[in-house]
Structure 1
Amino acid sequence: MKIKNIIGIALLLTVWALPGRAQVGEQRHNLAVGFNGGINLNSVSFSPTVRQKNLMGINGGLTARYISEKYFSMICGAQIELNFSQHGWDEYSEDYPELQYTRKMNYVEIPLLAHLAFGKDRGVQFFVHAGPQIGFFISDTRTKNDAWDKTSHNLVTEQHDKNVENKFDYGITGGAGLELRTKAGNFLVEGRYYYALSDFYKSTKKDYFDRSAHGTIVAKITYLFDLKK
């Protein structure tokens, strides 16, 4: 792992831990749990480059959040999720539009997020999430049409029959959104971006790919209900 990746993860872990440790604001003890669901727009950063377009996948699971304090107008807390998430890529070439190859990769993911919000206790709040994320590869599906065997081309195909070699995925994620807090529960709409620091193929000097990492735009909605206010 590169030293800049280690530093980045350490900083994000520090940011995530701060809300639980701070003792200078108005104390809160709000625990909420619920569920989330949404979609991923996926691509993979390959080196050498593989031309592709965004692949849509699903994302959903369980959410738990703890609000520890309100410091001036900023509400501070931490959030953790346990999600099923689909990543992967959809190859595309303008020169060979008849070629089709899609890889969907299924993961169990755990984002660890600092939750910083601004707004009223009842009503609309604006919030920001940021923190590290880890994932565990569980399965994949591959779709490849017969045109690959019938067309003469010079495209990169090393990735087609290559199995995932590094099943542990890690990176950083962050985003922002709006939360509507009501007596019936809390409703969140959010956009995030996930940037993987790990490669799912081996990337030593003897391996073909120097880089094979996920990049994902996430749009999701979450429902939370308070267990403790």
Structure 2
Amino acid sequence: MKTLKISLFLIAMPLMIFAQNYRYKEVAPIKIGIVGGYNLSRITNSQPSYTIENYSGYSLGASALWRAWDKFGVQSDLIFSRQGYGYNEYGTNDGFLVSSYAYLTPSVNYQPVPWASFFAGMQFGILLKANCGCGNTDYQSTITHHFNKFDYGLNGGVEFTSKAIAEGFVMGLKYYMGLSNIVNESNSQNEDELPITLPSFSTRNSVMNFYIGYRF
């Protein structure tokens, strides 16, 4: 219940800024563009018999920024994110999971100086596909139905602009902390046919994203 209240509050903040913007000043232009970058991802939690390793992936999508006030604004990305994790079971390098999500990231943006801004907000995602690989082989299997379709959590980070490179160029660092369990427990009971060992504990997505982009 507490998580739901926080989520609703963070969603309502951009709407409040929009309302104040319409009431007190001329509407600021919305800057749109594209962003892409590198993901360093994993899942939270582990056990002595099931340890987690990082996975390298990527992100690509569209970005929008509305500077509603001089220093405050609202930004949101619609991105495709390829992420996952590797795991060791009983000290043996057993496999990895690669998951593809479509994420929407409504956030509040604060720009204290012309060349840098901070942002924080919610992140909502839909799982498109989940593949797994086993051991050191090239064998892969689709196991999407063993994972929950929806994912949500919090995101925050810092973004830099450089007019010396190009007007509208951005470079940033963002962290996503998932709040929902990614494994569909009702579909993970029968693991005899699975080529990957699913975690038997509650686990969430964790993604560090380094990105560059351009808004015009």
Query: Quick check: TM above 0.5?
Result: yes
Partner in structure 1 of residue 99 of structure 2 = 105
- Partners in 2 of 1:56 and 1:117 — Cα distance? 30
Question: Among residues 167, 185, 198, which one is paired with 1:185 in the alignment?
Answer: 167
| Aligned partners of 2:131 and 2:143 also within 8 Å | no
| Aligned partners of 2:157 and 2:172 also within 8 Å | yes
* Alpha-carbon shift at residue 119 of structure 1 (Å): 2.5
1:79 corresponds to 2:75: yes
| Aligned partners of 2:105 and 2:121 also within 8 Å | yes
- Partners in 1 of 2:143 and 2:27 — Cα distance? 52
TM-score normalized by the length of structure 1: 0.76
1:215 corresponds to 2:215: no
* Alpha-carbon shift at residue 220 of structure 1 (Å): 0.7
Structure 2 vs 1, CA of residues 221 and 184 (structure 1 numbering), >3 Å: closer, same or farther?
A: closer
| Aligned partners of 2:37 and 2:60 also within 8 Å | yes
* Alpha-carbon shift at residue 18 of structure 1 (Å): 3.5
| Overall identity of the aligned pairs, in % | 20
The alignment of Structure 1 onto Structure 2 pairs a total of residues equal to 200
- Partners in 2 of 1:201 and 1:96 — Cα distance? 22
Aligned ranges for residues 44-83 of structure 1 at < 5 Å?
Answer: 44-46=43-45, 50-70=50-70, 75-83=71-79
- Partners in 1 of 2:88 and 2:29 — Cα distance? 48
| Aligned partners of 2:157 and 2:175 also within 8 Å | yes
Partner in structure 2 of residue 118 of structure 1 = 112
| Aligned partners of 1:17 and 1:114 also within 8 Å | no
Partner in structure 2 of residue 171 of structure 1 = 153
| Aligned partners of 2:54 and 2:86 also within 8 Å | yes
Task: Give 5+ residue unaligned stretches, structure 2.
Answer: 190-198
Specify the code of the residue in structure 2 equivalent to 1:43. R
> Higher relative contact order by CA 8 Å / sep ≥ 6: 1 or 2?
1
Task: Give 5+ residue unaligned stretches, structure 1.
Answer: 148-159
Aligned ranges for residues 150-161 of structure 1 at < 5 Å?
Answer: none
- Helix, strand or coil for the counterpart of 1:6? helix
Specify the code of the residue in structure 1 equivalent to 2:206. G
* Alpha-carbon shift at residue 128 of structure 1 (Å): 0.7
- Partners in 1 of 2:152 and 2:99 — Cα distance? 15
Following TM superposition, the consecutive aligned residue runs of length 4 or more in structure 1 with deviations greater than 6 angstroms are none
Higher deviation after alignment, 100-109 or 47-56: 47-56
Q: Per-residue displacement from partner, 1:68-125 (whole Å, max 9, x unpaired)?
A: 121xxxx1111121111012111136x635x2301100011111111111234xxxx2
1:129 corresponds to 2:125: no
Q: Per-residue displacement from partner, 1:130-185 (whole Å, max 9, x unpaired)?
A: 111111111122110279xxxxxxxxxxxx97843311111110111212247953
| Aligned partners of 2:63 and 2:78 also within 8 Å | yes
Specify the code of the residue in structure 1 equivalent to 2:72. C
| Aligned partners of 2:33 and 2:213 also within 8 Å | yes
